[in-house]
Structure 1
Amino acid sequence: MTTTQSADTAVQTPTPSLAPAAPRIQNAVIKYGFIFVTVALFAYFALSEPSFRESATLLDTLRYVSVAAILGLGVTLTLAIGGMDMSVGAVAGLGVSVAAQTMVIYNQVGTVAVLAVLAAGALVGLLNALLIVVLKIPDMLATLGTLFVIQGSKLVLVDGQSVTPGMTRSDGTTAPGRFTEGFLRIDRGTVLGVPVSVLIFAALTIAAWVFLARTRWGRVLYAIGANPEAARLAGIRVGAYRALAYVLSGVLASVGGLILASRIGQGDVSAGSSQLLEAVAVALVGTSVLGRGRPNVWGTALGAVLIGIITTGLTIKGLPYYTQDVVEGAVLILALVFSFTLSKRRTA
């Protein structure tokens, strides 16, 4: 007697499913999307514009974005604790004014100007910490208030005019000082052909990465940003670490001010005004790099490079300057889409 196996009990060979491929592709896009965009844009401009791939152009691009990148590092530190420093552009502008007054009005050497600018940045950071940690004002509102106070104060101090060598002061006398050669080398000097400002940017990026990713202080900042109440219950002095983040942000912004002052060679009262948006943009773009979904130093650095590539490439192609804002805004929106998509996937 022959037995036959019924269809409902037959062993069927499973057909490989193509469904898992979609999540893998989506994860790859989220993780490597911005790196791919950066490389693709670089390749496009390099192939279509021979002048773009010249070493001088590439170094000028890094030099151009160094200020926004350094300010972006400060913003990254405050984003790590769940805050936001909106005063970085104003602090950079304050650094330009302080440097100019120290050397031009008070006839001091460049070293004194550097120390004065760094001290001014630290003091603004302490003011932000006082408003946010002690007086409990929301981070964004507090730093916006500081922004306006700084912008108004530096105009009052110089009667609304830029500080330039040989200028006539309000009392009718001529300013005795000038920008020293050593100070001007901060942005205009080179080491082995590399601009000093680019070297400063690279050194501060590495230092910020070590601080955030390789030290207890950095891990604590991330813990506070993730859940401040849990951090407090774990015995962490949340207020002290939040204050530290804003002081460091102020110091980094003042370093950007030093580079700006060296670049323009005068105390331009409007200096730093355009740096805030770029600094915030590169820091927010950085949150989407490598699918981190959180502020990170290398992401901020890559975001600055991406902005620099876009700006330099469009300039070489002769596009009007105002189109650059449109493209940079589109890149920022795309970065936020990546970041929020990643956040939703993690919380789902």
Structure 2
Amino acid sequence: MLPAYCSICGKERHSFNSGPLCSCGGILIPRVDFRYRDCDFRGNYPYLKHVISLGEVATPVVDVAGMKLKLEYFSPTFSYKDRGSKVLISSLLENLPKGSEINEDSSGNAGASIAAYGASAGYKVNIFVPEATMKSKMSQIIAYGAEIHTIRGTREDVATAAKSHRGYYASHVLNPEFRDGMRQISYEIFQQMGYRIPERVFIPVSAGTLMLGVIAGFRHLMNSGETSGMPEIVAVQTEAVCPLCSRINGFQYDPSAVTNSVADALVSKNPPLLDEMTRELKHYGGKCIVVSEDEIISARNDLAHSGIYVEYSSATVFAASRKIHGNENALLIMTGNGLKTP
């Protein structure tokens, strides 16, 4: 079981609970208390007894416009979410027998990923999605055999529906195993760049699991003596949904406002991990950049004309890179395939 501690009471988790949170209601934060191992996946996830695999590979890094792009959509369900689903579902196998029911709320990509890995593990999967979820993403979820529940209302209403349904709440936001799976991205970047790290990493941010996991991976490398410091983390959000940038940059943001963005994967208005995201980004001297709809669309088109076809949510980081100088040693994480939002 993943070592984790509560963000509120500080208590260590010593057993599997009936849900993803501490008994006091606090969010569980992964604890990485061993040295980095320059080996395969299992070496840096020693707590996993069983590993579900759908043929994951080290996702490629390519050079575009003088920067490096890590193509996370070279994953089984075409998004980076497979990093977290692999670790979460593998962890659940120690506590939930095959045939158990698990529930997840998602705007699309996490739902498809949990559906795929859940199917491989033999679970009955329920995916709760917002009413506005793209049909292409729902079709992928259905193809894996999951049952879709379409919920009218806010993103928080969708989460409440998933949480209250019978079965285990396999939230990709709240289960600490999911974000812990993102550490592997940092290790791959380190290895693929010749055992060095980039000076700057651009990350699209919504719920925050990707950013927090990547930070944890680079911190693990630094604490293990593999690197002498951390890259500058640049979190990227849309003008429509920007709670983290509001906190970091000190401007007003109204989460109750109606939003409609082409970046449909970046829609978490009140992310449960917001306090931790703010703390981590400030601690390591990171930035948060907001991009407009026009900037996102332009960035996506320009990437496609360079042979890189990503969904709009991924293109946000390319749009953000155009707003600051000094990106000669920068890396952008491309999170999802363009076929998800044609």
TM-score (norm 1): 0.29
- Structure whose residues are more often strand by fraction: 2
Looking at secondary structure, tell me which structure has more helix per residue: 1
> Which protein shows a greater Rg?
1
Of structures 1 and 2, the one with the larger relative CO (CA 8 A, separation 6+) is 1
> TM-score, normalised to structure 2's length?
0.30
